[in-house]
Chain A
Amino acid sequence: MNTVKISGLGMVSPFGTDVGDTWRRISAGERAPLSQLTSTLSSRTFPYLAVPRESVREYERHPRLRRSSEISHYAAIAGMKALHDAGLDEKTGRIGVVFGISSGGVRYTTRFYHDIISTGAGTASPLLFPETVYNAPASHLAALLGLDGMSYTLVGDSMVGLSALSLGADLVGTGQLDHCVVVASEEAEWILCEAFRRSRFFTNSDETKPFGGPGNRGTVFSEGAAAVVLSRSGSIEIAGLHRGIPYFKSASAGVAMRSVLSELGEPPDVVLTGANGTRLDDAEAAALRAIWPAAETIHCKAALGESVGAGALQQTVLAAHLLRENGCERAGISAIGYNTLAAGAILQKRGRPE
């Protein structure tokens, strides 16, 4: 069976919208600057890593996107950059979209619900509600691409980008599509930080310390997007991709992660981990030590923060970029979602001898 290739990359992060520059700054040990989100229901503030506004203005005034929120803008930029990076355009035939998402358009969802309970159901805005639907960002991107075919939105946690990659690879690998734009996106909102805080995943510290050991204190929330174009030709092969193994108790996350890594085959040279400073890092670290002990680990979330819905696909984009830049021959991605699955993937340069 022909392997599915990655032919284009796009990314939006607190470092901007240039994949190469983002990688350079991560490699240099830079951290994106912190911003503050303030609860609209209390005076509590939350540190987070924001996408620089000036870097994402491109589609704000597009007729289809002018009423949408940042999650759709980030996705549009990442998706279109990946498409153009692949040498494709909106007129290319048989393109589909697979979208990975976590809480969706949470800014409008929060605002819409706040209006309902504050001023009554009769004042709820019909302009806001459609943007609260999980597949609204995918629909906007499909409109930009002029699609009339496949568009799937997958919802999940911080590993959902790998679920989306898996579904996209199935669509291209089975010949249902020639190309698939796989996108994942996240926008920050105080309610998410509050939810993470109450789940003890959040830190009010100004930094994320991946694999920090027993002192793991939590993660810093961030926002952004990532996109890859999957095709049957391209410079990067998806050599291994696991749909994931669920865990029902936190204590089982490590077992699930070990199984995933074992089933992915030959170890990679480098792993872009999903480590984010939370208690799940211990499970991921132990699994990597046991199954891929020689692989160098890179913790991109130390610099980028935890962008949840976008996180695993950002790892994937950075792994693919590393391969493109001849940083290694074979790059892995590992991710444990906070309440779903452990998943992983291996990318390698096309034509690499086995």
Chain B
Amino acid sequence: MLIAAMAEAVADMGNALPELCIVGTTSGGMTFGEKFYRAIRDGKKMDSPATAVANYTPQKPVLDALEAVGRTMPIQIIANACATGTNAIGHAFSLIKAGRCQSILCGGYDALSELVYVGFDSLQASTAEKIRPFDAHRTGLVLGEGAAVLALENWDAAERRGANIVGEIIGYGVSTDTFNLTQPHPSGIGPKLAMQRALDSANVTPDQVDYINAHGTATHFNDATEGLAISEIFNRVPVSSTKSMMGHSLGAAGAIEAAFSLLALEHGFIPPNINSLEPDPQNAFDLVANTSRPANLRRVLSNSFGFGGTNAAILLQRN
């Protein structure tokens, strides 16, 4: 998945030479670790145990992807739980904004594993039903998997070489909520700080945001606190969670949702929050329920929040 996403981004990038690759993941090659453990437990001989060990490490898929696309550059693997894809993009944005890099490949990936699947089930965070973000009848998340890679470049450099500029990242905000490893503070202070900091970093006011691609996992705690935070900062802003269609791809989610946000800006529509039965009445925002909506979007905020209280938001703008 990561090789496919990386190849597409590098092809799109043309002749730009990225100086750094920042990728987020939550569990890396966990399935290889599981196979390794089972082989030891069952006394089975593995064909290549060294390969299984190497593939377990979260950095290996990134190295494989770079090798596949014929690029060599330093890599940083951020593992900030489910916020990590947005952290990777946001940190890349900060480095370019500060002039420390001209061009960075950034994104996230994750593949389903038994351990992670059971882990979310043990927390009673997942559901066997449909995923219904921000719904009064939500019952939990559905895991997904995937990868997305964005090619970020200094604006002037991209213009000079005639790059096809899809959109612009103009703000990034992070916060840490240390209330609990897996549950956000009920006040929504974590998401609120991350969103407010993203707006502040771009000198943008809440009413200048046209759509929020929410973290929206459909878990009780996330949607309650994220919904509260959005309702407090924004005034009837359109909101949807594309996880309703894609599931929660953990380390890939932030990057995938950044890509969706850019497509929404480029093509003038708001993706829907499907499976919606009855919007949670606590939320004072405009839930884009069940069907997409044409919209002349100028700015989109994309949220990602994770275990450990990591919260990240990026603000994207149409070219």
**B308 adjacent to A138 (CB under 8 Å):** yes
Given contacts A191-B37, A194-B40, A341-B75, contact A135 B94 (CB under 8 A): no
- A187-204 contacts to B, CB under 8 A, are 191, 194-196, 198-200
**A136 adjacent to B308 (CB under 8 Å):** yes
Contacts of A150 in B (CB 8 A): 174, 176
B119: interface (CB < 8 Å): yes
**A246 adjacent to B119 (CB under 8 Å):** no
Contacts of B40 in A (CB 8 A): 39, 41-42, 191, 194
Q: Which one of A121, A174, A341 lies within 8 Å of B94 (CB-CB)?
A: A174
- B167-185 contacts to A, CB under 8 A, are 174-178, 181-182
Contacts of A102 in B (CB 8 A): 57
B123: interface (CB < 8 Å): yes
**B121 adjacent to A121 (CB under 8 Å):** yes
Given contacts A130-B307, A135-B307, A155-B59, contact A243 B181 (CB under 8 A): no
B155: interface (CB < 8 Å): no
Contacts of A200 in B (CB 8 A): 50
Q: How far is the CA of A116 from the CA of B34 in the complex (A)?
A: 11
Q: How far is the CA of A116 from the CA of B37 in the complex (A)?
A: 12
Q: Which one of A191, A198, A243, A339 lies within 8 Å of B60 (CB-CB)?
A: A339
B114: interface (CB < 8 Å): yes
Q: How far is the CA of A138 from the CA of B80 in the complex (A)?
A: 9
Q: Which one of A109, A117, A124, A167 lies within 8 Å of B121 (CB-CB)?
A: A124
B100: interface (CB < 8 Å): yes
**A116 adjacent to B87 (CB under 8 Å):** no
- A100-141 contacts to B, CB under 8 A, are 101-102, 104, 109-110, 112-114, 116-117, 121, 124-126, 129-136, 138-139
- Could you mark each residue 278-319 of chain B with 1 if its beta carbon is under 8 Å from any beta carbon of chain A, else 0? 000000000000000000000000000011111000000000
Q: Which one of A143, A154, A198 lies within 8 Å of B79 (CB-CB)?
A: A154
Output the least CB separation between B28 and chain A (Å).
7
**A131 adjacent to B94 (CB under 8 Å):** no
Contacts of B259 in A (CB 8 A): none
**A139 adjacent to B309 (CB under 8 Å):** yes
B contacts with A, residue count (CB < 8 A): 63
**A244 adjacent to B57 (CB under 8 Å):** no
Q: Which residue of B lies closest to A191 (CB)?
A: B37
A282: interface (CB < 8 Å): no
Contacts of B182 in A (CB 8 A): 130
Output the least CB separation between A194 and chain B (Å).
6
**B50 adjacent to A113 (CB under 8 Å):** no
Given contacts A129-B123, A133-B308, A246-B73, contact A155 B36 (CB under 8 A): no
Output the least CB separation between A337 and chain B (Å).
8
**B80 adjacent to A151 (CB under 8 Å):** yes
Q: How far is the CA of A136 from the CA of B37 in the complex (A)?
A: 22
**A117 adjacent to B41 (CB under 8 Å):** yes
- Could you mark each residue 105-122 of chain B with 1 if its beta carbon is under 8 Å from any beta carbon of chain A, else 0? 000000000110011111
Q: How far is the CA of A201 from the CA of B60 in the complex (A)?
A: 17
Q: How far is the CA of A117 from the CA of B114 in the complex (A)?
A: 10
**A176 adjacent to B94 (CB under 8 Å):** yes
Output the least CB separation between B96 and chain A (Å).
11
Output the least CB separation between A165 and chain B (Å).
12
**A245 adjacent to B72 (CB under 8 Å):** yes
Known contacts A116-B118, A142-B178, A199-B50; can you find 19 more A-B pairs with CB under 8 A? A64-B178, A113-B114, A116-B115, A117-B37, A124-B121, A126-B122, A129-B119, A130-B123, A134-B81, A149-B176, A151-B176, A152-B78, A153-B308, A154-B77, A174-B94, A195-B49, A246-B75, A248-B66, A339-B54
**A-B contacts, 23 listed (Cβ < 8 Å):** A42-B40, A113-B114, A121-B118, A124-B121, A129-B118, A134-B79, A135-B81, A135-B310, A136-B307, A136-B308, A139-B176, A143-B178, A147-B176, A148-B193, A153-B80, A153-B308, A198-B46, A199-B49, A244-B74, A244-B75, A245-B74, A246-B74, A340-B59
> What is the interface of chain B, defined by CB distance below 8 A to chain A?
20, 25-26, 28, 33-34, 36-38, 40-41, 46, 49-50, 53-54, 56-60, 63, 66-67, 72-81, 87, 91, 94-95, 98, 100, 114-115, 118-124, 174-178, 181-182, 189, 193, 306-310
